[in-house]
Amino acid sequence: DIVMTQTPLSSPVTLGQPASISCRSSQSVVSSDGNTYLNWLQQRPGQPPRLLIHQISKRFSGVPDRFSGSGAGTDFTLKISSVEAEDVGVYYCMQATQFPRTFGQGTKVEIK
Amino acid sequence: EVQLVQSGGDLVQPGGSLRLSCAASGFIFSNYWMTWVRQAPGKGLEWVANINQDGSQKYYMESVKGRLTISRDNAKNSLFLQMNSLRAEDTAVYYCSRGGGSGDYWGQGTLVTVSS
């Protein structure tokens, strides 16, 4: 199984400041079709998860452009350019390149 | 508007059974893979199972193989998770989602509690 490791696990951030979350996979998540199915999800308190980014860097419909994804191979990053109050929650990376699908442990973003 | 409305969660004794449902609307259900993901209390997300568009391909996490069964009824735009031989460690909120990856739309979740 591919192990997804996120750092940090907790990220206290000042409103208006940037935040960055790293995700590392135990092996390459490049698919045989050439695509990399590395996704980022947000889970606000008491809510179901919400897809933010798919295939490393493609923002899903309605996701603000302050969210961006980057990376390649086994190392990926989610960045929030300027944290807003509504961004509080837990962020997960997830690989959908092979079965079983696997998630990172989650990174809790909170306001200082 | 894409909607996934879940039902079926309950309190069940160890060894018992339960069937979760996920009713889809707002899109052509038969065109999409579907996914079940669960979240134990206070824990992270855990992928459970996937099913392809016509139900001919199914994938499961190792610990649920032989006990949980994913299925779908495209005529009724519905996804199911039949849960048998339930264990305490199956206690979680179960989410259905559209797609074969992390899912672009998610249901509201339904709580399954396995306890005597």
Residue type, B47: W
Which pLDDT value is given to residue B66?
Answer: 97
* Encoded tokens for B93: 């909120």
Nearest to A39 among B46, B59, B102 (CB): B102
Which pLDDT value is given to residue B18?
Answer: 98
Per-residue pLDDT of chain A (112 residues; tens, 9 = 90+): 999 999 999 999 999 999 999 999 999 999 999 999 999 999 999 999 999 999 999 999 999 999 999 999 999 999 999 999 999 999 999 999 999 999 999 999 999 9
Put simply, the answer to whether A105 touches B95 (Cβ < 8 Å) is no
Is a pLDDT exceeding 90 seen at residue B101?
Answer: no
Q: Confidence class of residue B108 from pLDDT cuts 50, 70 and 90?
A: very high
Which pLDDT value is given to residue B102?
Answer: 73
- Per DSSP, the residues of B42-65 read T--EEEEEEE-TTS--EEE-GGGT
In this structure, is the dihedral angle defined by the CA atoms of residues A64, B25, B57 and B106, taken in order, positive or negative? positive
Q: Does B41 touch chain A (CB under 8 A)?
A: no
* Chain A residues in contact with chain B using a Cβ-Cβ cutoff of 8 Å: 37, 39, 41, 43, 48-51, 54, 60-61, 90, 92, 94, 96, 99-106
Q: Does B95 touch chain A (CB under 8 A)?
A: yes
B23-82 confidence digits (pLDDT tens)? 999 999 999 999 999 999 999 999 999 999 999 999 999 999 999 999 999 999 999 999
Q: Confidence class of residue B103 from pLDDT cuts 50, 70 and 90?
A: confident
